[in-house]
Amino acid sequence: MFLAVGAYERDAIGDSELARYLRCDLVTAREIVAKAKTSREVEPSGEELQLRLDFQQSLLHGIS
């Protein structure tokens, strides 16, 4: 799922291909992208934060 969303975010695949890779319709595929791009974190205080994930940045950046 994250590979497909990443490719979609880089414009390497279009809507139809995204839906095919995710095995769903176009509307559901777009909903999956929206959900995959955000993360909910809960602070020790109980406060809930919503973070936007960046699919353009490599997860390997800075690893040696």
The residue segments making up the domain with residue 39 are 2-52
Specify the pTM.
0.63
Is residue 27 in some structural domain? yes
Task: Report d(CA 52, CA 49) in Å as an integer.
Answer: 10
Model pLDDT for residues 31-59, shown as the tens digit of each residue: 999 888 876 677 788 787 666 656 565 55
Model pLDDT for residues 18-31, shown as the tens digit of each residue: 999 999 999 999 99
Is residue 60 in some structural domain? no
Is residue 6 in some structural domain? yes
C-beta separation of 20 from 27 below 8 A: no
Total domain count, the chain: 1
What does the chain come to in residues?
64
Is residue 39 in some structural domain? yes
Is residue 31 in some structural domain? yes
Is residue 61 in some structural domain? no
Is residue 58 in some structural domain? no
